[in-house]
């Protein structure tokens, strides 16, 4: 992306002044190298988002930003319903509430090593992964609606976990305001037997070793110690979320002129928050958030079953579970006044700092764990929300490394079998139903996650706490 379009505010912040139809500036949080590496389309998408009705402060891009549908992936924007603000399905994305959850094992890497291969094989056999993967749960109409209303709480009530899990999940495991009636029958059919499955693409379950700590106080509070092993799960709302996104984007494109909205890009199809269409989308989207929370909860249960078999006595307590690809109503201070805004985070995660009332009591004085997933074979990170971050992008941070090339380009450059063998030589066991999928997700197809995390830290979005190295990766 051309740096000449931006004014440098700091070594990790760049600002584009409003031009043309832009109502607010566009801001990118990244170092110069990361900004240059971004596709020009990121700048175009930021400018288009900045032109939407009711947008507040700025259109933001995180250090991992890359081109997406409507919003750039890694995009953040907030809208005020009192000022004609809109909700955009393209500002949430298709994989609604895709997110990361990390769990303690209490085991060291040395203790895992003798059962390393067996653990990888059992996890792969027990947790469905891949395109069209289905699980052992098949939900009837009543159970589907119950799951969409109650999320991870629904799963815990049915024996897939413990009540204590809910304290370490965003929204305490249940997104309020979900309306299953706004979810189409087709979306529900797609999800009927997909609960407890990873899906495909960049979704994974990883066994990871903590290899470095940066903030001892936060690491102690999160119970992270060098040499110990954690499990991270990255997945979302599967077919249901994709169907909701597809259906509402079509409706919003058709309805926009009737609302007097002149879209800068059809992919930014939106509706006024207070319209019946905007409210219907929010109800369906919140149901999809609950679907994703339930999905990760059931996968957690399956992982616990494997560890109980292979490593008896392992508990797998939650560190935290945080979503990206959401729109949430949150209070934020703007111009010295508190306003209730609808914050879109697409490929971005919330990063609440110390004192935020949404955090669990034992974490409130330290801040929210921010979980940054790596790309297959590369490091992941745990960060913590900061006080300074409240004033940056509505307390948001990056969510991963961000793609540097398309999946098609990746398959032309890498072969799945060769990648599996090379990563095994590096000490990372890959298990996947698709070698083509492995090639699509080659580590080299992504940005340097360490550079992305360093930029987020320097920009004040969140502070580095721990670095995690993969040992086993179950890839969708």
Cite the active site residues: 399
Q: Give the Cα-Cα-Cα angle 109, 316, 389 (nearest 5 degrees).
A: 90
CB-based burial, 179-215: b 16+ in 10 Å, e otherwise: bbebbeeebbebbbbbbbbbbbbbbbbbbbbbeebbb
Give the C-alpha separation, 316 to 296, whole Å: 13
Nearest to 12 by CA among 27, 36, 29, 24: 29
Q: Give the DSSP H or E segment for 212.
A: strand 204-213
Residue 324 β-bridge partners: 349
Pull the structure tokens for residue 38: 């971004």
Q: Where are the alpha helices (DSSP H) in 222-272?
A: 238-255
295 in Cβ contact with 238 (< 8 Å):
yes
Identify each DSSP E strand in 214-304 by its residue range.
228-235, 270-272
383 in Cβ contact with 366 (< 8 Å):
no
């Amino acid at each position: 992306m051309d740096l000449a379009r931006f004014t440098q505010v700091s070594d990790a912040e760049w600002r584009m002044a409003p031009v043309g139809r832009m109502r607010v500036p566009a801001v990118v949080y990244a170092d110069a190298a990361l900004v240059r590496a971004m596709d020009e389309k990121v700048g175009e998408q930021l400018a288009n988002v900045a032109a939407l009705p009711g947008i507040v402060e700025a259109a933001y891009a995180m250090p991992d930003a890359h081109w997406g549908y409507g919003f750039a992936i890694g995009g953040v924007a907030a809208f005020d319903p009192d000022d004609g603000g809109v909700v955009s399905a393209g500002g949430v994305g298709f994989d609604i509430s895709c997110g990361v959850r990390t769990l303690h094992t209490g085991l060291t890497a040395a203790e895992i090593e003798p059962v390393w291969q067996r653990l990888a094989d059992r996890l792969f056999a027990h947790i469905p992964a891949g395109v069209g993967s289905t699980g052992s749960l098949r939900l009837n109409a009543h159970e589907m609606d119950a799951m969409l209303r109650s999320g991870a709480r629904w799963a815990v009530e049915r024996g897939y976990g413990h009540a204590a899990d809910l304290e370490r999940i965003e929204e305490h495991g249940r997104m309020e305001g979900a309306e299953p009636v706004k979810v189409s029958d087709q979306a529900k059919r797609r999800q009927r037997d997909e609960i407890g499955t990873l899906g495909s693409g960049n979704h994974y379950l990883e066994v990871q070793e903590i290899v470095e700590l940066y903030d001892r106080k936060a690491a102690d509070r999160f119970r992270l110690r060098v040499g110990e092993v954690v499990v991270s799960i990255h997945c979302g709302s599967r077919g249901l979320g994709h169907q909701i996104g597809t259906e509402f984007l079509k409706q919003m494109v058709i309805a926009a002129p009737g609302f007097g909205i002149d879209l800068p890009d059809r992919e930014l199809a939106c509706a006024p928050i207070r319209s019946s269409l905007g409210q219907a989308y929010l109800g369906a989207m919140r149901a999809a958030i609950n679907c994703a929370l339930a999905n990760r909860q059931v996968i957690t249960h399956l992982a616990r079953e494997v560890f109980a078999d292979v490593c008896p006595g392992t508990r797998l307590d939650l560190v935290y579970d945080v979503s990206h690809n959401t729109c949430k109503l949150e209070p934020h201070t703007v111009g010295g006044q508190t306003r209730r805004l609808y914050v879109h985070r697409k490929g971005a995660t919330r990063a609440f700092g110390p004192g935020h009332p949404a955090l669990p009591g034992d974490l409130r004085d330290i801040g929210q764990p921010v979980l940054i997933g790596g790309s297959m074979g590369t490091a992941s990170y745990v960060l913590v929300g900061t006080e300074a971050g409240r004033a940056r992008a509505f307390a948001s941070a990056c969510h991963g490394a961000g793609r540097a090339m398309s999946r098609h380009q990746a398959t032309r450059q890498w072969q799945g079998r060769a990648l599996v063998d090379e990563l095994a030589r590096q000490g990372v066991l890959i298990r996947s139903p698709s070698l083509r999928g492995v090639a699509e997700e080659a580590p080299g197809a992504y940005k340097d996650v360490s550079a992305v995390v360093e930029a987020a830290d320097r920009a004040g979005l969140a502070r580095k706490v721990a670095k995690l190295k993969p040992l086993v990766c179950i890839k969708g």
